[in-house]
Structures are given as structure tokens and as C-alpha cells.
């Protein structure tokens, strides 16, 4: 393994045609138009479906062991 002396100054990068100019910065513009009501509606419908399935499953499970009296 070759060691590099710590007292040696760092060498600058080679100058020439191989050096490229830094690219221009990219400008990102956001168009914030507020709440996306379509996505909010989809999320609310999904939450309501999950709640209804959970309540229906609990109701069906609680009635499974009940037998009608004669």
C-alpha cells in the first residue's frame, strides 16, 4: 500500500477542454391551488368503506353464536 505524505499540497485539477461549465440552475415553480377535492373525496370514501366493513364484520361475528329461542 502506498502512503501519501501529509505535507504535500493538493494538486489542482487539470485545466483544459475536459472541464465542463456548471449547468444552469433548474427553476422549479409550484402551482399551489389549495386542497385537491378529488383526492380528498377518494380518501373519505375509502375510509368510510373500511369503517363499514369493520362494523359489518363485528356485527356478523357477534350474531354467529346466537340461536333463536322457540
- Asked if the model's pLDDT at residue 45 lies above 90, the reply is yes
Residue 16 region by backbone torsions, left for phi larger than 0, else alpha for psi between -120 and 50, else beta: left
| Residue carrying C-alpha cell 370514501 | 45
Answer whether 19's CB lies under 8 Å from 13's CB: yes
Q: How confident is the model at residue 48 (pLDDT cuts 50, 70, 90)?
A: very high
At 52, the pLDDT band (50, 70, 90 cuts) reads very high
Stated pTM of the model? 0.46
Amino acid at each position: 500500500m502506498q502512503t501519501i505524505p501529509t505535507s504535500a499540497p493538493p494538486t489542482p485539477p487539470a485545466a483544459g477542454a475536459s472541464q465542463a461549465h456548471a449547468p444552469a440552475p433548474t427553476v422549479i415553480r409550484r402551482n399551489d391551488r389549495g386542497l385537491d377535492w378529488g383526492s380528498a373525496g377518494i380518501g373519505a370514501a375509502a375510509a368510510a368503506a373500511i369503517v363499514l366493513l369493520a362494523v359489518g364484520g363485528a356485527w356478523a361475528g357477534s350474531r354467529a353464536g346466537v340461536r333463536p329461542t322457540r
